[in-house]
Structure 1
Amino acid sequence: MIGRRTTYRMADGIRVPGTWRHVFIHNFDYHLTDLFIYADGLVDCWGLVTLEQFEEKLRSGWVATELPEGAVASGHELAGWTFAEPRTWLTPELLLAEVRDTVDQLNGRPDSTDRCLAAVDAFLADRTEERREAARDAYLAIPRTRRHYALGDMDRKDWPLQVLVAGPGGRTYRPEDKVVTQEWYDEAVRYFENRAKLFSERSERVPADGPVTPTAPAIQLYESYPLKPSDDPDARALRNNYPAPVDVDGVTYPSVAHAYWALSTSDPDVRSAIAEAEQAYAAQQLAADAPRREGWEQARTAVMTRLLRAKFAQHPALARILLATDDATIVYDDGDSGYWGDNGGRGRNWTGRLLELVRSELHAESTGIGTA
């Protein structure tokens, strides 16, 4: 279900990943809308509900799986129509099973398909009737709408799986199918044996650029005022307003933020005043009332990159703090700027991204890997 449909919602400042699918909501008429499913088990069907509450919405018909002939339907600000000869492939049980699978997938847990394939592996390792029945039960636990995707084989679909769990002389779950022959069964066994060999060879290959980390950990650099120098600073020292003097072209500024605001203005007197400002906030206020340098908006990212490089080159202790973040995603809050800050997922987080760039350069320097 997830595919490429990815979204998220914010909860207590944390992104909760999610996905969506189309459904009909039955509220007087039938409304075509999106059903949002989130990793924490909440479902948005015109309001956030738990999985148990979602099941109640299904049973009551609020989330509709039956579309009666002649019912009026609409897509919000898109179209309206009346059902004629409607067909639906879903039941409340099927849709609930799909949603539960989706929550498992969003959390990286085995879903019904994974559990089925694990039961199949157990059967192939010890081919008893008891294990075959377990594999069959696990297969039938996959939502019927998802079974033909279980093997990821667009040519055979799930046919080898149906045959294997049915066994010679048995029948698949579809009543119209014929009795499974020994020849079919042997072919299904060979299919899974070849599949296991292929997967084994694939798992032994290591990507040339190293293994992929599914989701890097994150460090949140919250706004904090006022920041004071410390002999043993923590990650707050990575913030631009941390008092770590930076020398730029022979002028020393109290912090990266001071230097940034000074370089943003074309007025030399204001630049001098900013260099003398006690707090970064005062520096920002001075710059706000001064004329901006021509082309500043297009050049500011390069300027900030230069300033961050200078900060960590001139303060080795702070560079060690940045290096200690390893490969973490750096989420930088900046209440004044949606460009520099992440700001609850609404900003572009350029400061966080540039800190990660400078960190990578420091790693390259420390290991002797050239970046020129």
Structure 2
Amino acid sequence: MIGNRVTHRTVDGIRIPGTWRPAFIRNGHHHLIDLFIYADGLIDCWGLCTVEEFEEKLRIGWVATTVPEGAAAAAPGMGEWLSVADPEVSEAVTVTETYREARKLALMAPRRKGWEQARAAFMTSLLRAKYDQHPELADILLATDDATLVYDDFDSAFWGHNAGQGRNWTGRLLKLVRSELHMRRSGIPCP
């Protein structure tokens, strides 16, 4: 494993160890992700794939360790700095190398007054902007039709589903944004 970058996934009750590293997925723009590599040979880069499938993703440039000069890139989760009350810690969060580092630093710091009450509205605004700016991602979200959306964020019982132990607020907000996209694309006027 790579240092303390230890993770796992559970399949049929069996814990499969793994590690992770930052990487970029090129889906329209480049998106910073945590790429998970498991001991059973599967790799999670926006979905599990075999080593052979991963090699193809590398070959075609869908997965990369760097962003080409001049290319657009997004770093989901880096908004953690907004929740931090201390401006110095907030600045330190913005210059971390990985989302995990940013999250850890932000979670150790005192939160802004009112953050707990405002965080869902903040996330809703971010999700609306994301899907408005990236129609190809909106198409993917719309293709889920009216399915229940489960978001696994094992670091957060608020945002993630976490095998039924979390509140799944990201999943809930994605359903809201999906409904708004359906409404707009169907021409249904908003009161």
**TM-based fold match above 0.5:** yes
Match of 1:312 in 2: 131
Match of 1:228 in 2: 24
Cα pair distance change 1:265/1:226, threshold 3 Å? same
Question: Is 1:357 paired with 2:176?
Answer: yes
Q: How far 1:12 sits from its partner (Å)?
A: 4.3
**Bigger relative CO (Cα 8 Å, ≥ 6 apart):** 2
Match of 2:103 in 1: 284
Structure 1 unaligned spans of 5+? 1-10, 14-223, 238-252
Structure 2 unaligned spans of 5+? 1-10, 14-19, 32-44, 48-72
Q: Among 120, 126, 130, which residue is 1:301 paired with?
A: 120
Asked if 2 retains the 8 angstrom alpha-carbon contact of 1:313 and 1:319, the reply is: yes
Q: How far 1:284 sits from its partner (Å)?
A: 0.4
Asked if 2 retains the 8 angstrom alpha-carbon contact of 1:262 and 1:287, the reply is: yes
Question: With structure 2 as the length reference, what TM-score do the two structures score?
Answer: 0.61
Report the AA paired with residue 282 of structure 1: E
Question: With structure 1 as the length reference, what TM-score do the two structures score?
Answer: 0.33
Asked if 2 retains the 8 angstrom alpha-carbon contact of 1:339 and 1:347, the reply is: yes
Report the AA paired with residue 169 of structure 2: W
Answer with 1 or 2: which has the greater Rg: 1
- Identity between Structure 1 and Structure 2 (%): 54
Asked if 2 retains the 8 angstrom alpha-carbon contact of 1:256 and 1:311, the reply is: no
Match of 1:321 in 2: 140
Q: How far 1:225 sits from its partner (Å)?
A: 6.1
Q: Among 77, 84, 88, which residue is 1:257 paired with?
A: 77
2-structure distance, mates of 1:316, 1:225: 28
Question: If each structure's strand is expressed as a fraction of its own residues, which one has the higher value?
Answer: 2
Match of 2:154 in 1: 335
Task: Provide Cα deviations, 1:163-213, integer angstroms capped at 9, x if missing partner.
Answer: xxxxxxxxxxxxxxxxxxxxxxxxxxxxxxxxxxxxxxxxxxxxxxxxxxx
Cα pair distance change 1:12/1:279, threshold 3 Å? same
